[in-house]
Amino acid sequence: MQTLHRARDRLVGERTALINQLRAILLERGSTVPQGRRRLEQYLTTMSDPEGEASLSPRMHRLIEDMRAEWLELDRRIATFDNEFAACARNDADARRLATIPGIGVLNATALIAAIGNGQTFARGRDLAAWLGLVPRQVTTGGKPRLVGITKRGNKYLRKLIIHGARSALPVLASNATPLGEWLRALMKRVHKNAAVVALANKLARIAWAVLRRGEEFDAAAVRTEIGRNRGKGCRAATDVCWWWKARWPDSRTGVLDT
């Protein structure tokens, strides 16, 4: 399963490089396309007629059509992997439980299970978050501990998947009337959005560990945070974690009490 994920990630990288080259070709000839893969697809569809884009020569039209064909083939191969992962997730009880967590989909679930199994390797959720490089790095000088950016150690691919999942789940979770939603709303008032995404990714990793260890589905109402406990008790040192934008987000020791 991990080999399949690596093969899919290589294809995604090739597709991204191809899309970037397409944008560069169009930009060099005065055609600026809005961001987004779908926007570029729509633009290329409208200019499929060789006479539709006067700034491009016939040879450039043929080149772009060839690159579009390569793009479609990469999409087909990536979709084949996605369908295989979906079939594996449907037949795996742990993957189905992980999929109940917001931000954890088929890719995240199958990659997590392939990498850590049922989570028995880690004694607590924070150990999994540390293994993924989602915890703050400590720099101590003269006996004064200082927490800086996340360590970015461990499994880079899993960390990327979980952060992307947290980014997609953030708007929905922040609008929910749950303890997790309350924590996110309070957090987003004080920090940059990207810092909140990383903090949520840390929390999702710990929730995933708890779901795997306990063999239970995710229950948003059961998630407890330490916001109320820390509020007004001089917890500045515990939350003063600097990210690469110098934004602040709660220390990974605060959050889901699943350990």
Distance from C-alpha of 129 to C-alpha of 195, rounded to nearest angstrom: 15
Distance from C-alpha of 120 to C-alpha of 30, rounded to nearest angstrom: 56
Helix, strand, or coil (residue 148): strand
pTM listed for this prediction: 0.78
Q: What is the pLDDT of residues 103-131, one digit of tens each?
A: 999 999 999 999 999 999 999 999 999 99
Query: Half-sphere exposure (CA, 13 Å, Cβ side) for 64?
Result: 25
Q: What is the pLDDT of residues 135-170, one digit of tens each?
A: 988 888 888 888 788 888 888 999 999 999 999 999
DSSP 72-101: HHHHHHHHHHHHHHHHHHHT-HHHHHHTTS
Q: Which residues pair with 248 in a beta bridge?
A: 242
The per-residue pLDDT for 237 is 26
- Angle (nearest 5°) at CA 180 between 104 and 86: 10
DSSP 8-state code for residue 178? S
Structural tokens at position 183: 């924590």
